[in-house]
Amino acid sequence: MAGGAVSIRGVDKYFGDFHVLKNINLEIKENEFFSILGPSGCGKTTLLRIIAGLEDVDSGDVLLDGKSIVHLPPNKRPVNTIFQNYALFPHLTVYENIAFPLRLKKLPEHEIKERVGWLLNLVRLEEHAKKKPHQLSGGQKQRVSLARALANEPRVLLLDEPVSALDAKLRQELLIELDNLHDKVGITFIYVTHDQAEAISISDHVAVMNNGEVVQYGTPFEIYESPANSFVATFIGETNLMKGDVVDLLSENYVVVEFPLLGQIICYRDKPVSVGETVLVTLRPEKIRITHNKPTFTDSTPVNLLHGRVDEAIYMGYQTKYFVRTDEGYILRVYKQHASYLLDEKIIQWKDEVFLFWNPDDSFIVEVERG
């Protein structure tokens, strides 16, 4: 199979007076695993349906390998869609569900048998070929849907929240299978989800949507480590989002920001700012180090250092979430990862006095309030 490159150019869509999609522009490379991520109602499923041909555009164009497909009906587009509700034929066996699109094309029986056999092997359902959908688990049903969608050898596979109906463990298992399947079949996957963990764990690139607009596009690393604004910072993972005033410009790289109930913090100057301007700063909880003893620093690299007391400690096995009230009264979230278990390490607990420190590069400006 060969994947196709999809271009979304200036797409607008209205439902009545409601502007669902606002000038959407995206370039999705051939063979990549691309995710469209956003909250419910942001327009991501509508965009997927437009690519599939299930919705018309009010303006703009959709191109596949450089050729417009916006006027083609769904059955003429080399695109298949997988929905979260499986959409299997209940009266047909697994084998016949997968064979259905091939029979519509009137392929010879030996060709159908060979292709369905290959697909059953691909999704690891050979032993379930004669079962009906009601005899399968949720994960198995979704694998049947995947196999059936791949039967026609589409150039693009559209996946509309395909694992949302499964429990947490099954979701993780199917995500890994999807990633492996993508590597094996080599076609373009466009995956719609509201779950940021899903999107950043399996995607080559991610488009984050909000209120009908693409607010950031990039690799999962770029989206998580360098959010474009406060919405992305809070929607992708967890963060400490703090508002303060710029009081000093240390250099072209760093500024000093004064925060209420927190004091002065050195922040990375990734946006042009001036003294007196109000800014929003993001700081991921896992970037903050927490210790019982005051740390010492041997070089001149600037470091942010605070003292406080643990207000709450939530042990989660692989990490502990701390809510630390600083001396000034601000509560910071701090996540300590448990990479190893040290018997001689004094565990930080509720009400302990602690020191917090982090690199100023990890506290950076996401928005500047002007005027």
- Residues 80-97 pLDDT 10s: 988 777 788 999 999 999
Per DSSP, 294 falls in state: P
Does residue 14 carry a pLDDT above 60? yes
Q: Are residues 169 and 224 in the same domain?
A: yes
| Residues 141, 77 contacting (CB under 8 angstroms) | no
Q: Are residues 259 and 166 in the same domain?
A: no
Q: Are residues 183 and 74 in the same domain?
A: yes
Read off the pLDDT of residues 219-256 as tens digits, 9 standing for 90 and up. Answer: 999 999 999 999 999 999 899 999 999 999 988 889 99
CA 366/CA 371 separation, integer angstroms: 17
Q: Are residues 298 and 227 in the same domain?
A: no
Task: Give the torsion sign (CA, 138, 86, 70, 48).
Answer: negative
CA 65/CA 61 separation, integer angstroms: 13
Q: Are residues 352 and 230 in the same domain?
A: no
Q: Are residues 128 and 19 in the same domain?
A: yes
Q: What are phi and psi of 74, to 5 degrees?
A: -55, -40
- Whether the predicted model's global pTM rises above the 0.75 cut: yes
Q: Are residues 245 and 204 in the same domain?
A: no
Burial profile 87-112: b = 16 or more Cβ within 10 angstroms, e = fewer: ebeeeebbbbbbbbbbeeeebeeeeb
| Average pLDDT of span 280-289 | 96
Q: Give Cα separations from 192 to 20, 200, 264, 370 (angstroms).
A: 16, 12, 41, 35
Domain membership flag for residue 1: no
Domain membership flag for residue 167: yes
- Name the residue range of residue 295's domain: 238-369
